[in-house]
Structure 1
Amino acid sequence: MKGIIFALLGGSFITLQGVVNARISQDIGVFQAITITQLTGFILAFSIFAVVRDGHYSDLQKVKWPYLFGGAFGLLIIFNEVTAIQTIGVTLTISVLLIAQIVMAFIVDATGLFGLRKLKLHGWQFVGIGMMILGVIIIQL
């Protein structure tokens, strides 16, 4: 249950962040909005880390170097989400974003990308994705 609650909160925050970033970018520009978002996120994360201390920077050497660039995905996420919200609106953007996330998750599970355990995909999962896509089409009618 705890995981579901965190997933619901995360999904809600993704939507709110997209809307706020779209609004900020209308006033000051997309990359300025991304800079503010990433900076405030860093300040908050660093502040929490300073109090919680759930890890050690000395363990950074254990991380494979390509994974250290994961934060760059944040720039790409925000840029694409803001641009989509300004173009097609919040509802369609988030709907398509969720479908893209699930499709990418299927790819990661099926291939074992990033050293994760490969999982077998089932036909009913693809039916579910198809139903989600149909749902987005219905929402837009």
Structure 2
Amino acid sequence: MKGIFFAFLGGAFITLQGVANARISQDIGTWQTATITQFTGFIVALVALLLVRKGNWKQFKQVKPLYLIAGSFGAIVIFSHITAIHLIGVTLTVSALLIAQLTSTFLIDHFGWFEVLKQKMKISQIIGIGLMIIGMIVIKF
């Protein structure tokens, strides 16, 4: 139940962040907005880290270098999200974002990328993504 709460919380804040960023970018530009967003996110995460003080920095060297670039994906996420909101609106952007996320996660699970346990895709999952795509088309027209 706690995991579902945090998933909903994260989903709501992704949408709020996207809308706020799209508005900010109209005044200062998309990459400037991405920079501000990444910087403020860094500050909030740093403060949280200092308050919580959990984790093991000694294991930092055990992390594969490829995984250390994950934070840089955030800049691409923010730029893409802002641009999509300007072009197709919030509803279609979030719909497409969810479809892309689910498709990506199914591929990651199916092929076992990033050292995750391989899982076979079920027909119900494929149908679910298909229905989401149909839903997005219905929303568009």
TM-score by length of 2: 0.97
Q: Is the partner of 1:48 in helix, strand or coil?
A: helix
User: Which residue number in structure 2 is paired with residue 22 of structure 1?
Assistant: 22
Letter in 2 for 1:49: L
User: Which residue number in structure 2 is paired with residue 129 of structure 1?
Assistant: 129
CA shift, 1:10, in A, is 0.6
User: Which residue number in structure 2 is paired with residue 112 of structure 1?
Assistant: 112
Letter in 1 for 2:86: Q
CA shift, 1:123, in A, is 1.2
CA shift, 1:58, in A, is 2.4
Q: CA RMSD in A?
A: 0.8
User: Which residue number in structure 2 is paired with residue 70 of structure 1?
Assistant: 70
Letter in 1 for 2:65: W
User: Which residue number in structure 1 is paired with residue 39 of structure 2?
Assistant: 39
User: Which residue number in structure 2 is paired with residue 89 of structure 1?
Assistant: 89
Identity value in percent: 55
CA distance in 2, matches of 1:102, 1:77: 15
TM-score by length of 1: 0.97
CA distance in 1, matches of 2:14, 2:71: 15
CA distance in 2, matches of 1:53, 1:112: 32
How big is each residue's C-alpha offset from its partner over 1:7-44, in whole Å with a ceiling of 9 and x where there is no partner?
Answer: 11111011111111111111001111011000000001
CA shift, 1:128, in A, is 0.8
How big is each residue's C-alpha offset from its partner over 1:39-95, in whole Å with a ceiling of 9 and x where there is no partner?
Answer: 000001000101101113222101001101001110010010100000110000000
Report the number of matched residues: 141
CA distance in 1, matches of 2:50, 2:127: 45
- The aligned runs of 1:2-13 (5 Å cut-off) are 2-13=2-13
Letter in 1 for 2:112: G
CA distance in 2, matches of 1:135, 1:31: 31
Q: Is the partner of 1:83 in helix, strand or coil?
A: helix
CA distance in 1, matches of 2:33, 2:57: 28
Letter in 1 for 2:125: Q
Unpaired segments of 5 or more residues in structure 1?
A: none
CA shift, 1:139, in A, is 1.5
Q: Is the partner of 1:21 in helix, strand or coil?
A: helix
